[in-house]
Amino acid sequence: MQVMEATLRGEQLLLEVADTPELRTQGLSGREKLSQGSGMLFIFDNMNLYGFWMKDMKFSLDIMWLDADKKIVYIEKNLSSDTYPTIFTPASPAQYVLEVPAGFVDNSNVSLGDFLDIKAK
């Protein structure tokens, strides 16, 4: 799996990339944990209202939806496996979805309109 470095609100992140249907379907399901400073970036081919759920998750997440410019357009915080089968869908179209450990959004003061800066390889 491809990994990339990114910055959000001054916080360094090491992101696994889910850019195929198989990787996006698997996501973080079944894992025991996600380390602080890490996450998963789901990359889609175009903008749409991509819904996410917490099926088979063993820890809580903050999920952010980003537009084609990597600007945050929607946020759901502290989602646990107890929310399954609820599907969380953004209010406006997104092309990227970022999953990070629960608490990251509040601890880093992330808000709508912030940009994810992905470092070029």
> With pLDDT > 70 as the criterion, what percentage of the chain qualifies?
98
* Structure-token match 């003061």, residue found: 109
Backbone dihedral region of 30: left (phi > 0), alpha (psi from -120 to 50 degrees) or beta?
Answer: left
Residue type, 87: I
16 DSSP β-pair partners: 3, 40
Mean pLDDT, rounded, for 22-36: 94
- Residue that the structure tokens 């749409």 belong to: 48
* 34 has a pLDDT exceeding 70: yes
Pick the closest to residue 75 from 40, 44, 112, 39 (CA basis): 112
Of the pLDDT bands very low, low, confident and very high (cuts 50, 70, 90), residue 1 is: confident
The DSSP output letter for 90 is: -
Please count the structural domains in the chain: 1
- The proportion of the chain whose per-residue pLDDT surpasses 90, expressed as a percent, equals 96
Question: Which of 118, 80, 83, 81 has the alpha carbon at shortest distance from 98?
Answer: 118
CATH of the domain at 56: 2.60.120.1140
Neighbours of 114 (CB within 10 A): 18
58: helix, coil or strand? Answer: coil
121 has a pLDDT exceeding 70: no
Query: Which domain, by its residues, includes 38?
Result: 3-118
Question: How far is 109 from 105, CA to CA, in rounded Å?
Answer: 6
Q: What is the pLDDT of residues 80-119, one digit of tens each?
A: 999 999 999 999 999 999 999 999 999 999 999 999 999 9
